[in-house]
Amino acid sequence: MPKSVKWLGHSCFLITSPKGKRLVVDPWIAGNPCCPLKLEDLPKIDAVLVTHDHFDHSSNAVDIAKRFKSVVLAQPETIGRMQSEGGLPAAQAVYGMGMNTGGSAAIDGITVTMVEAHHSSQTGSPAGYVIKLEDGTTLYHAGDTGIFGGMQLLAELFPVDLAMLPIGGVFTMDSLQAAKALTLLKPKMAMPMHYKTFPVLEQSADNFVTLAKEEAPNVKVIVLEPGKEHSW
Ligand SMILES: [Zn+2]
């Protein structure tokens, strides 16, 4: 079965693995002006990955997890908040308590590793995720971050097929930094995220596409409309 990555606007992605497992990263669906789906439209989700505890990355994590009994990956302090404020059952937190930067979790043949990101968070610290699907395909969701030199190390440890990178500026990397990040990560493909949602953010991926061509011409940049997916 082909794998697919569907963009739900902002930093929210629905990933379907070759064996049909579904992961949602940074679920902000209700109230996300760029998300064409309603929460009720989501298919069954096996795992919810939260990069950090800001509303535009975590708002619907508990709703989704409770509805589908999905496992939730997030830092212990963020899990704690989901439990105390949202009633997330402890059994649905990865390892019963959450995980932290450097840690990995196995989800039915998929390995998810939490990696560094440079940003802020109301609880815990911000993170990114490296997601290795059953067939070895490796995805990197950077979360919200500025560019950092450790991206080069990530690429050595986890050769990246597809990198999902924020390009909107103000709160994260802008297009120039994200294009430069491609030279560190050396992914086969890249998808821009975290733009257009708020007036203060960059409003299109055009600049990123141009700069990526200059900085990393070998990387295939895939710009999705919200609700559309890339499968391969
Ligand atoms: Zn954000």
What residues does each domain of the chain span? 4-225
- Report the DSSP pairing between strands 229-231 and 4-7: antiparallel
1 CA from centroid of ligand 1 (Å): 32
Q: What is the pLDDT of residue 120?
A: 96
29 CA from centroid of ligand 1 (Å): 13
117 CA from centroid of ligand 1 (Å): 12
Alpha carbons 165 and 62: distance in angstroms, whole number: 24
118 CA from centroid of ligand 1 (Å): 12
Six token digits for residue 132 = 């290795």
Q: What is the pLDDT of residue 26?
A: 98
47-49 sheet: strands from edge to edge: 71-73, 47-49, 22-25, 13-16, 4-7, 229-231
Q: What is the pLDDT of residue 10?
A: 98
142 CA from centroid of ligand 1 (Å): 11
143 CA from centroid of ligand 1 (Å): 8
194 CA from centroid of ligand 1 (Å): 7
Give percent of the chain above pLDDT 90.
100
139 CA from centroid of ligand 1 (Å): 19
User: How do residues 75-127 score in pLDDT, each as one tens digit?
Assistant: 999 999 999 999 999 999 999 999 999 999 999 999 999 999 999 999 999 99
Is the overall model pTM greater than 0.85, yes or no? yes
Fold of 4-225: Metallo-beta-lactamase; Chain A (3.60.15)
Distance (Å) of CA 105 to CA 94, 121, 160: 7, 22, 18
Give percent of the chain above pLDDT 70.
100
Alpha carbons 9 and 29: distance in angstroms, whole number: 8
